[in-house]
Structure 1
Amino acid sequence: MGQWTQKTLTRKNWMAFTGLFLCFFLIIHLLGNLQLLLPDEQAHLQFNAYSHLLSGNIIIKIISWVLYASIVAHVIYAMIITLTNKRSSDIKYHYDRRGEVSKWYTRNMGLLGTVIFVFLVIHFRDFWYVYKFGSLPLDAQGNKDLYKLVVAVYSETWYVLVYVLCMVALCYHLLHGFFSAARTLGIYHPRYVKWVRVMGWIYSVGICAGFALIPVYVHFLK
């Protein structure tokens, strides 16, 4: 029993650490993508130059590999923990009322995680893969014209709707992950619980609203 508990805690710690790294990455990624909200000509050249800088910087490449490893590890540990919890929940007692008091997004983290994973696959295919291995035209500065690709993709109404819905799923996923990581790392103390919850809501809603705004803005105003 002690060994099983230790394994569970280790998995949850890795989930927390990889999740926090991904949260930090989302901030950086959003700040870079907010350049798409600039006036058209400025956004065109500046966003392409930014993308070129990221693709050619060795430090950024190392961080990218850490990012990919974190995504894979986060998904694997999430699957293991979900399956472990499912097995342990097969034996339910009549006084177990956790389902009545837990949030719906907490009870459906597997579904939310699946939606986000599918979104990531599509997102990587439409942008990262095309940028790395496709034949994009060059802009006036000689950089790959990722901006035109972004505008073309976000011109599709269905894509924008799916993107926004996936950001809603991500928001709830981040909410649960933020509070869960705080508990795992021992900072969900009664003295700080209010601030942890406030910061969790501000971060989750702010990040996802920012990402959702970009395709909507590009669709209607570019």
Structure 2
Amino acid sequence: MSWFTKTFSSTMGRKIIMSITGLFLCSFLVVHLIGNLQLFYDDGGAAFNLYSYFMANNIVIRIMEIVLLLGFLFHIYDAIVLTRKNKAARPIEYAEVRPQENSTWSSRNMGLLGTVILVFLIIHLWNFFVPARFGGLEGVVIEGAEYENLYVRVVESFQIWWYVLIYVLAMVALAYHLIHGFQSGFQTLGLDHKKYTPFIQMFGYAFSVIVCLGFAIIPLYFFFLY
């Protein structure tokens, strides 16, 4: 297994892991957004609470949560290692640097964007995931059965202006992070060609904006219309 360890501990190997985990996390965003859209049903939160119950009690979903957590940890760890390696490789800056001429703002600030997203993720999990998985939510009766009322937690949380602000700013950071990361991931995996790279760029931009806008609309909807 020494070849495996050497390959994936190298700079290129870590970039491949970053790309694979990043694209995997993109698929999670789509599934998570589709689930969160249940919040817009005008049924007092019944659809969202049933969805939340299914996610919390389905064995396949619980296993995927572990895979997802490992994906996050690998992605974050490799990002830190690669950043340190890049700084160590060039400890002294060039006398004259114009990074804006050959790189985008998001590519130069992936560390900052990732940090903002990580801080938001910790707050978000503590506010929603922990109560949903380990108790602390009030109950609600749906079709004769009692479920935890995560919907009320969502509504109450999105009445707090600073939480809504953090959520929206995090989605802006995530959009910039994805815009660069989506194309970079395909390029690292060797899926880079003049024929389809423009489509990947366009699709990645559209994906990043639409998904993050979809998430950002949810807190704004509850804050201004509830």
Question: TM-score of the superposition, structure 2-length normalised?
Answer: 0.91
Kindly indicate whether residue 108 of structure 2 is the aligned counterpart of residue 107 of structure 1. Answer: yes
CA distance in structure 2 between the aligned counterparts of 1:116 and 1:32, rounded to whole angstroms: 20
SS of residue paired to 2:147: coil
Q: 1:155, 1:219 within 8 Å by CA — same for their partners in 2?
A: yes
Q: Distance in 2 between matches of 1:6 and 1:219?
A: 46
- In 1, the alpha carbon distance for the partners of 2:210 and 2:110 equals 20
2:188 is equivalent to residue 174 of structure 1: no
For residues 1-222 of structure 1, the aligned pairs below 5 Å read 7-41=10-44, 44-93=45-94, 98=99, 100-141=101-142, 142-222=146-226
1:8 counterpart letter in structure 2: T
Offset, 1:46: 0.7
Alpha-carbon offset, residue 100 of structure 1:
2.9
Change (3 A) 1:47 1:5: closer
- What's the secondary structure of 1:143's corresponding residue? strand
Number of residues of Structure 1 aligned to a counterpart in Structure 2: 218
> Equivalents in 2 of 1:150, 1:181: separation in Å?
33
Give the secondary structure class of the aligned counterpart of 2:194: coil
| 1:139 counterpart SS class | strand
Contact between 1:37 and 1:217, CA under 8 Å: does it hold in 2?
no
Given the two structures, how large is their TM-score scaled by the length of structure 1? 0.93
| Cα deviations by residue, 1:128-187 (Å, 9 ceiling, x for unpaired) | 011122321111121100000000000111111111111000000001110110110111
Structure 2: any 5+ residue segments left out of the alignment?
Answer: 1-5
> Cα distance, 1:39 vs. partner?
1.4
Change (3 A) 1:65 1:97: same
Deviation at 1:212, TM superposition (A): 0.1
Percent identical pairs in the alignment equals: 45
What root-mean-square deviation, in Å, do the aligned CA atoms of Structure 1 and Structure 2 show? Answer: 1.9
Gaps of 5+ in 1: none
Shift of 1:58: 0.5
The higher-RCO structure (CA 8 Å, 6+ apart) is: 1
